[in-house]
Structure 1
Amino acid sequence: MGADRLPSPAVARALTVLEILVESNEELTLTALARKAGIPLATCASIVYTLEQRDYAMRRVVGRSHFWHPTLRLYSLATRLIRKVDLSSVAVREMRELADRMGMPVHIGVLTGASLVYVAKAAMPGFIQFDTHPGKVAPFNLTALGKAIAAFLPEDELKPLLKQLEQGRGPKAPRVTVTGFRAELATIRKQGFALEDQEEQADIACVAVPFFDATEHVAGSVGVTGFAKELTRNNRKQAREGLVALSRIISERLGATDAADVVGT
C-alpha cells in the first residue's frame, strides 16, 4: 500500500472511542461517549460493543443506563510490546547525533538490583576511549545514570537500594550516608537531571536524564560522559538540553505519554 492512501474513518473513530475511555477519570454512558467522540450514537454503540466482545471494554448496568470503562487488555498488549523493545537500539541515530554534537560518548543505563548496567553506547572515534562499554556494571549511587533512575523510583523500590550504597573512590566523592543521598535524589527530582563529578573515578564526569515506559515508571537513563575538565558549565548545559530531548524521544518510543511533565530543562 502506498503512503498516500487515505486513512480509514472507521478505524479512526474506534481509536478515538478507545482513547476517550482510557483517558476518562470516570465511567461514561454511551450518550456521553458519543458526544465526546463527536460521532453518531449508533456508530459509537457498534464500536463499544465490538470492544466489549474483544475484552477491551466493559459496562456496568445501573437500571436502564450502561456505564462503560476500559479493561486491562490494553495494558497486557503494551507490556508485551515493551518487552520486545531493545534499549540498545531504541535511539541509535539520536544518540549518535548527540555524541557528535558534544564530542563525547552517550550511554543508556538500566538498574539491575543495586547495580547500574550500561546497555548501549554511542562512542567517539579516537585513541582515548572511556571504559563504559555495554555490559559494564557500576554501583548505582556513584553514577549519574544510576542516580537519575533512583531519584524517580517509588519508595518501595528505592528503600532496599539505600541499604547498598557504596563509597566512591574518586577525589570528589562525598561521604555516603542515606540522609545525604536522599537529599541528592530530591534535588535530582526537582531539576530533572543527575550529575556525577569524579565520584566513581578521578577526572570523569557525567550528566544523565531518566526516561520512562508506558506505565510512567522510570525505565532507565541516558547520559553524556566526558573528562571533568571538559564537561564544564556550558558543556553541561548543552548536554542536559540534548539529553532531555533524547529522553523524551526514548520515553515516547516506550509508550510513555507524560514524560515531558517529569523531565524538564
Structure 2
Amino acid sequence: MSESLRRGLRVLAALADEPATASRVAESHGVSLSTAVRLLQLLVEEGFARRDETGRYHVGSQLLQVAYHVVATMDVRQVAAPSLRALNTETGQTVHLGYFENPTVIYVDKYAGNAPVQMYSRIGTPAPLHCTAMGKAVAASLPEAERTALAAGLDYPVSTERTITNAADYLHELDTVRRQGYALNLGEHEEVVSAVAVPIRQPDGRVHYAIDLAVPNVVVGEDELRAFIPQVLGTAADIERALGY
C-alpha cells in the first residue's frame, strides 16, 4: 500500500508540471499501462485528477482545494523567518517583514542589525506607503486600477526633503519599482535611514507582504545599500518558493 501511495503522489506531482496520457504516465513511471490506468482512475474518482476529451489527465479540483486551504492557513511570518534570519546574519543589517493594510504597511517581524545606530521600527507599528521601501514594493504590485486609486487617495505627509508629495510622482516611482523588481527608500521617511524592499508573491499571485533591508545611512552609503539588492531579491525568492508560488 505504501508503494502505491508513493506512486500516486509522484503521478500527481508530474501532472502538476504537465498533463499526460495514461501511456505517458506508464512510460515515465515505469509501470504497466493497466496499472497507470487504474491509478489515474482512482485519482479521478477522488477528485485529485481529471481526464479531458483528448485523453490527457490534469490535476483535479480536489487537489487545488487542498492546496489553497494549506496556503490560506499558512503563517507567512513563520515561513519567512528562516530566510529573514539568514539575510540578517549574512548582512549584519536590520531586516523587516511587512503586511499591506491599506493605507499603510505594518511591521510584523524584525531582525535588528548590529550597527551602532539602531532604528525605531517596532513590530506592530504602521509605516506609510508613499515614503517607505516596503510601502512602495506592495503598492507597485497592485493591479493598475487599484494602484491608481491608492495613489489618488493618499495624503502624502512630508517627512523629509526627499519625500514624494503627490500622486503623479508616486505613480511614476511605482512604475520604476515594477520594472526593476525592488523599491528603494533613500532617506524619504527618516533622514538617517535608507532601505531596499522586495514584494512577496503568494500562490495566487497577489502581494500582501514585502521584506526590506534597512540601514543607517550615516554608516552605510547608497552604493553599499544597492550592493545588498541581489541578496534581498534572493531572500524574497526563497520565501516565495516556501509559500508555493
Which category of TM-score, normalised to the shorter sequence, fits these structures? Answer: 0.7 to 0.9
RMSD: 2.6
- Quick one: which of 152, 176, 183 aligns to 2:166? 176
Aligned to 2:65: 76
Give the counterpart of 1:116 among 86, 101, 105. Answer: 105
Specify whether residues 104 and 66 from structure 1 end up closer, same or farther in structure 2 by C-alpha distance, changes over 3 A only: closer
Q: Which residue of 2 aligns with 1:229?
A: 218
Q: Give the match's secondary structure for 2:113.
A: coil
Q: More displaced, 199-208 or 152-161? A: 152-161
Q: Report matched runs for 1:142-153 at 5 Å.
A: 142-153=131-142
| 125 and 74 in structure 1: CA distance in 2 versus 1, 3 angstrom threshold | same
Change (3 A) 1:47 1:225: same
> 2: CA distance between counterparts of 1:35 and 1:192?
41
Deviation at 1:196, TM superposition (A): 0.6
Deviates more, 1:84-93 or 1:140-149: 84-93
Tell me how far apart the structure 2 counterparts of residues 95 and 253 of structure 1 sit (CA, whole Å). 13
- 1:140 positional shift: 1.6
TM-score by length of 2: 0.85
The residue type paired with residue 19 of structure 1 is A
CA contact (8 A) 1:20 1:36 kept: no
Compute the TM-score of the two structures, normalised by the length of structure 1.
Answer: 0.79
For residue 99 of structure 2, give the secondary structure of its aligned residue in structure 1. strand
- Asked if 2 retains the 8 angstrom alpha-carbon contact of 1:171 and 1:201, the reply is no
- Change in Cα spacing, 1:13 to 1:158, as seen in structure 2 (3 Å) is farther
Amino acid at match of 1:164: G
Name the residue aligned to 1:192.
181
Match of 1:207 in 2: 196
Whole-Å separation in 2 of the counterparts to 1:219 and 1:17: 32
Matched AA of 1:82 = V
Matched residues, number: 243
Hey, what does 1:46 align to over in structure 2?
A: 38
**Contact residue 118 and residue 136 of structure 1 kept, 8 A:** yes
1:14 matched to 2:8: yes
Whether contact under 8 Å (1:110, 1:146) holds in the other structure is no
Q: Does structure 2 retain, via aligned residues, the 8 Å contact 1:110–1:117? A: yes
CA distance change for structure 1 residues 209 and 139 in 2, over 3 Å: closer, same or farther?
A: same
List gaps (5 residues or longer) in structure 2: none
SS in 2 for 1:89: helix
Q: How many angstroms apart in 2 are the aligned matches of 1:151 and 1:39?
A: 49
Which secondary structure does the structure 2 equivalent of 1:90 belong to? helix
